Amino acid sequence: MPATELEQIVNLCKRRGFVYPSAEIYGGFRSSYDYGPLGSLMLRNVKDAWVRTMVQERDDVVLIDAAILGPPAVFEASGHLANFSDPLVDCTVCNKRFREDQLDARDCPNKMKGCTFTEARAFNLMFQTHAGPVEGEGATVYMRPETAQGMFVNFANVLQTSRKKPPFGIAQVGKSFRNEITPGNFIFRTREFEQMEMEFFVPPAESSKWYEYWCNERLNWYIELGIPAELLRIRAHDAVELSHYSAGTSDIEFKFPWGWGELEGIAQRTNFDLNRHSEFSHQKLDYFDQATNERYVPYVVEPAAGANRTMAAFLLAAYDEDVVNDEPRTVLRLHPRLAPYKVAVLPLSKKDTLMPLSKQIFGQLSKLYMVDFDETQAIGRRYRRQDEIGTPFCVTVDFDSLEDQAVTIRERDTTTQERVPIAQLESVLQSKLGF
């Protein structure tokens, strides 16, 4: 039974060290979050799972890591300076600002009497700053609102250095920044967030085929990592929703407690970006196909996902409450690849006699996986704690272990226990985890 209220995971995240409000000791910094010891591991696992599927397991996609700050020319060419804006209205009574397209029947969400709104005006979402030692005098620079432009401006570099040819992709994982008018819903919409994007460059005639292909591939990625299919849907954009660069976009949406929300967009960006950067930079950004003797500007199909809201979706889908030994428990049934810790090593007692063997097992397993070590409190409490943070397996070292050189593996989902010789521990865990 996945979480039905956002608060269920917000509380768990705070209590267990997944996600904290940013700058909390100063009262918090609105809609910014810091990822704690467990959240930082899980967020990294989400991004690693994406890189594994999108780059490591393919021979037609390469990874880059481009700069966050960019000169105006990049965003002039990309169209973000002119077009990347939301329609903003002010309420004349409560003086709050809203996105016009998110208002129900132009009612003020604060429900003040006699609310009226100003005319909508375009509000550019990019953060602008200045580079240089003298405040106010440096060159204007922008923080990237999407990682995608890094792939377009490096298209020629990658083509020359990677020996790839269309169809091929350039992928990137990294931070993007948008001055969102209405951030909210925990880590769903924030001003600073991480994207996992891939630009797939194809011969123009193959664009529709690859669009279908990536819609299916991407939907399956979420299902394979444990989100039930009924909590996911794919929705094509109406013409009015399309971004300035898109000839067609479909969103992969997750059923959040407040309704369907976008996890990822798959867009047909045509040759818009390469043409624009070619025009503004006066550089050739095309491909010469020696087989057909043809020169063309590749079309682009772009699967673009958000790491943070995807992590929220994985947490919501994995959240469960059940009863074990007549006691209620909270359990995160996370896919092992996403779980912060894969294994926890638990000496049955704090007694010194169990420590050397327990530490030795921790040392051995932590070379393979992220492993927790917990010697505090009663063993039942420790199992519950690991269940609540999604650790798939606990390895318990008891007094018999000193004699029989065996330990107990306990499974999170079924709570079943199995005695395993220490000599076989690595291979048994490997087959249970699947990696």
Residue 226 or 432: which CB sits closer to ligand GAP?
A: 226
CB of 314 to ligand GAP, least distance (A): 13
CB of 111 to ligand GAP, least distance (A): 26
State the CB neighbour count (10 A cutoff) for residue 192: 17
Instruction: Tell me if 22 contacts ligand GAP by CB under 6 A.
Output: no
**Tokens describing residue 290:** 């020696």
- φ/ψ of 296, rounded to 5, equals -150, 160
Instruction: Tell me if 47 contacts ligand GAP by CB under 6 A.
Output: no
Query: How many residues touch ligand GAP (CB under 6 A)?
Result: 19
DSSP character string of 305-352? EEHHHHHHHHHHHHEEEEEETTEEEEEE---TTTSS-SEEEEESS--G
Residue 38 or 304: which CB sits closer to ligand GAP?
A: 304
How many Å apart are CA 145 and CA 140, to the nearest integer? 15
Instruction: Tell me if 189 contacts ligand GAP by CB under 6 A.
Output: yes
Q: What contacts 24+ positions apart, CB below 8 Å, involve 35-42? A: 37/340, 38/340, 38/341, 38/389, 39/13, 39/311, 39/340, 41/340, 41/341, 41/370, 42/18, 42/311, 42/314, 42/315, 42/334, 42/338, 42/339, 42/340
Residue 189 or 255: which CB sits closer to ligand GAP?
A: 189
Q: Which of the ranges 192-200, 203-211, 275-283, 348-356 carries the binding residues for ligand GAP, by CB under 6 A? A: 192-200
* Binds ligand GAP (CB under 6 A): choice among 45, 124, 250, 308: 308
* CB-based contacts of 251, cutoff 8 Å, min separation 6: 234, 235, 237, 262, 263, 264, 265, 266
Instruction: Tell me if 217 contacts ligand GAP by CB under 6 A.
Output: no
Residue 166 or 306: which CB sits closer to ligand GAP?
A: 306
Q: Which of the ranges 34-42, 189-197, 346-354, 394-402 carries the binding residues for ligand GAP, by CB under 6 A? A: 189-197
Instruction: Tell me if 195 contacts ligand GAP by CB under 6 A.
Output: yes
Burial class (CB in 10 A: 0-12, 13-18, 19+), 229: exposed
Instruction: Tell me if 253 contacts ligand GAP by CB under 6 A.
Output: no
* CB-based contacts of 205, cutoff 8 Å, min separation 6: none
Instruction: Tell me if 178 contacts ligand GAP by CB under 6 A.
Output: yes
**Tokens describing residue 204:** 């123009």
CB of 49 to ligand GAP, least distance (A): 15
Map residues 314-353 to x or -, x wherever contact with ligand GAP holds by CB under 6 A. Answer: ----------------------------------------
CB of 421 to ligand GAP, least distance (A): 45
Instruction: Tell me if 309 contacts ligand GAP by CB under 6 A.
Output: yes
Contact present, 333 and 315 (Cβ < 8 Å) = no
| Chain residues 138-157 in contact with ligand GAP, contact rule CB under 6 A | 146, 148
* Binds ligand GAP (CB under 6 A): choice among 262, 375, 388, 426: 262
Q: Which of the ranges 93-101, 306-314, 328-336, 413-421 carries the binding residues for ligand GAP, by CB under 6 A? A: 306-314
CB of 302 to ligand GAP, least distance (A): 6
Instruction: Tell me if 396 contacts ligand GAP by CB under 6 A.
Output: no
Instruction: Tell me if 86 contacts ligand GAP by CB under 6 A.
Output: no
The SS3 of residue 70 is strand
Exposure string of 320-336, with b = 16+ CB inside 10 Å and e = fewer, is eeeeeeeeeebbbbbbb
Residue 301 or 397: which CB sits closer to ligand GAP?
A: 301
Instruction: Tell me if 265 contacts ligand GAP by CB under 6 A.
Output: yes
Contact present, 275 and 299 (Cβ < 8 Å) = no
Instruction: Tell me if 180 contacts ligand GAP by CB under 6 A.
Output: yes
Q: Which residue has the tokens 């369907």?
A: 260
**Alpha carbon distances (Å) from 362 to 99, 373, 402, 408:** 52, 7, 15, 14
* HSE value, Cβ hemisphere, 13 Å, CA-based, for 162: 18
Instruction: Tell me if 372 contacts ligand GAP by CB under 6 A.
Output: no
**Tokens describing residue 67:** 């700069």
Query: Where does this chain bind ligand GAP (CB under 6 A)?
Result: 146, 148, 178, 180, 189-190, 193, 195, 197, 262-265, 302, 304-306, 308-309
